[in-house]
Structure 1
């Protein structure tokens, strides 16, 4: 039985590390050449990639700090107010999560691009000139001297981009993290220029606060108008007292929208202009290129030796 097993083992082809070593040694120059080509290609690609800088901001939800009488009224008159279409904050969802989704929405970002006139910086900028502190634009896309887009008449496809086209590119530059347990929101913007990344981050939060402020103001004004109408139509003194209490709180809400600039998100600390690049990791790109090149080289070598008619003559 043992002899039969030994005979079976002898007839079974087992991969030999010695044979693999012989193949690698025989094809070493091809392996080195292919690996070197991929490494040089990855290095060239990494060098050509522009630096990306990331501006980070940490914000505290400002609306959480305005409970007080409004939250008390929400418990007392929340049902009545909801019947009137008025929100006192007691049964509201998480405004922070809603605001984050709004920040990433197409409608908000497209209006942001148009309002701030940053379409050329998104679609045509190639790199940042550190010595002159200016952006370098692709001359085939945008004429910076005349501030106009270059239109290719020979092409059927329109070359002038729109805010619709720039949406996904801008969205990829924005990163938002909601740290619910800490009660903070971290917003980051990555861009070619460190100063522009800081400016865009400030603009994003500013526009988000303004949008939320206008929304709440409009809702409060409509609520006051509705309650005043109900007061004129109701003769019950107890209902008048309730309506006036709600009107007082809605009026306070209107005053807050007028006074408080950081209405939804309050900056925890001033944003610092980044001095070190966030990306790309050129060393990592070179290592990945070398690794991929070596795998392809080994694969080619094994395939070549397997189908080479001279492999037996070479004792492999």
Structure 2
């Protein structure tokens, strides 16, 4: 005799869609009110946020002549070591070094002070497009007296640490295209003019910094090699020193002749005509969605609490 299998139902464990929708309908005003409040708050926040502009420069690494010197040092290293001279085995890629220096604390501190960016960086709250001037936060800085405000007996004037941290986190972006080696330097600012100027200054200053650095190193190497040259009478070693001095002299000449020493500008920065931030429409949409989800959650919590009380 065949027995039909019994299907057990567990109504307590199943979701009643009609009851679910009924619960949402009963709490519709809570959902609507919560969504409305979040939507208004999102609009207010989006309108409160000032426009931020971004300027970018596309850079190509210039050809590095240090490879020739490294190969020469390797070829002549054995002979030079006989005279107690260490020529080294090569150096790190100049572009990589320049990119890291560009984001270093020492370089950015010097950059901020050299271009007097303390006030624009730390004491402004907007940019007047019509007057083309900064809007200062007078609770922090008084432009009329050039004085920083006091709080609890301490000056609000920022330290170098504060300025570099803000510049790194809120303004500067350096990225490299791994496929072609191109480097993009981007700067964000409340002022479209400042964004463009700061980008140009960064590119110019890193080129100048690397030029001076290589010239100083090459001149120091020339002095050292000339000193060693005068200490030896071995013709073979003298030939080595002459070739190395010639190579270092060429480095100095090329550094002085090249305006764009490490990075060549492929696409220069321009004054941005459109803001990059904030995404006001996205902020409003996200705020409205969060309000709706929170309203639904509140309705379910209230329904759960009421059902618990009824069971008791």
Q: Is TM-score (shorter-chain normalized) higher than 0.5?
A: yes
- Distance in 2 of aligned mates of 1:70 and 1:297: 70
Structure 2 portions without partners, runs of 5+? none
The alpha-carbon deviation at position 167 of structure 1 amounts to 1.4
TM-superposed deviation, 1:175: 1.0
- Matches of 1:78 and 1:199, distance apart in 2: 46
- Distance in structure 2 (CA, Å) of the matches to 1:179 and 1:163: 31
Q: Which of 177, 181, 190 lines up with 1:192 in the alignment?
A: 190
* Rounded Cα–Cα distance in structure 2 between residues aligned with 1:78 and 1:148: 59
Offset of 1:95 from its aligned partner?
Answer: 2.1
Contact kept in structure 2, 1:119 and 1:162, CA below 8 Å: no
Unpaired runs of at least 5, structure 1: none
Shift of the 307–2 alpha-carbon distance from structure 1 to 2, 3 Å rule, reads farther
Structure 1 Cα separation of the partners of residues 207 and 144 of structure 2:
34
Distance 1:63 1:22 in 2: 72
Cα RMSD (Å): 2.4
Alpha-carbon deviations, 1:144-197, whole Å to 9, x = none?
222222223xx1443121221111210021111112431311110011111101
State the Cα distance separating 1:270 from its structure 2 match: 2.8
Question: Following the alignment from structure 2 to structure 1, what is the Cα–Cα distance between the partners of residues 128 and 49?
Answer: 13
Deviates more, 1:103-112 or 1:18-27: 103-112
Q: Please name the residue that 2:181 is paired with.
A: 183
Q: Give the equivalent residue in structure 2 for 1:53.
A: 53
Give the 5 Å matches for 1:156-167: 156-167=153-164
With 115-124 and 266-275 compared, the bigger mean Cα shift is at 266-275
**For 1:10, what is the secondary structure of its paired residue?**
coil
Query: What SS is found at the alignment partner of 2:10?
Result: helix
When normalised by structure 1's length, the TM-score is 0.89
Give the paired residue count. Answer: 306
Q: 2:32 matched to which residue of 1?
A: 32
Q: Distance in 2 between matches of 1:262 and 1:32?
A: 60
Give the direction of change, closer, same or farther, for the CA distance of 1:24–1:225 in structure 2 (3 Å limit).
same
The alpha-carbon deviation at position 33 of structure 1 amounts to: 0.6
Q: Report the Cα distance in structure 1 between the residues aligned to 2:235 and 2:168, rounded to whole angstroms.
A: 54
Given that 1:61 and 1:184 are in contact with CA atoms closer than 8 Å, whether structure 2 keeps it comes out as yes
Contact 1:97 1:178 in 2 (8 A): no
* Equivalent position of 1:97 in the other structure: 96
Secondary structure of 2:176 counterpart: strand
Q: How far 1:125 sits from its partner (Å)?
A: 0.9
Local SS of the residue matching 1:285: helix
- Cα distance in 1 between the residues matched to 2:197 and 2:206: 14
Counterpart selection for 2:306 from 304, 308, 312? 308
TM-score in terms of structure 2 length: 0.90
Deviations 1:200-221 (A, max 9, x none): 1111122211221111111101
Report 1:246-261 matches (<5 A): 246-261=244-259
Distance 1:80 1:287 in 2: 72
Per the alignment, residue 75 of structure 2 pairs with: 76
In the alignment, the residues of structure 1 paired with residue 80 and residue 309 of structure 2 have an alpha-carbon distance, to the nearest angstrom, of 88
CA-CA distance at 1:298 after TM superposition: 0.8
Going from structure 1 to structure 2, the CA distance change for 1:34 and 1:263 (only over 3 Å counts) comes to same
Q: Is the 8 A contact 1:305 1:311 kept in 2?
A: no
Report the equivalent of 1:110: 109
Contact kept, 8 Å, 2:124 with 2:137, in 1: the verdict is yes
Q: Compute the displacement of 1:12 (Å).
A: 4.0
5 and 133 in structure 1: CA distance in 2 versus 1, 3 angstrom threshold? same
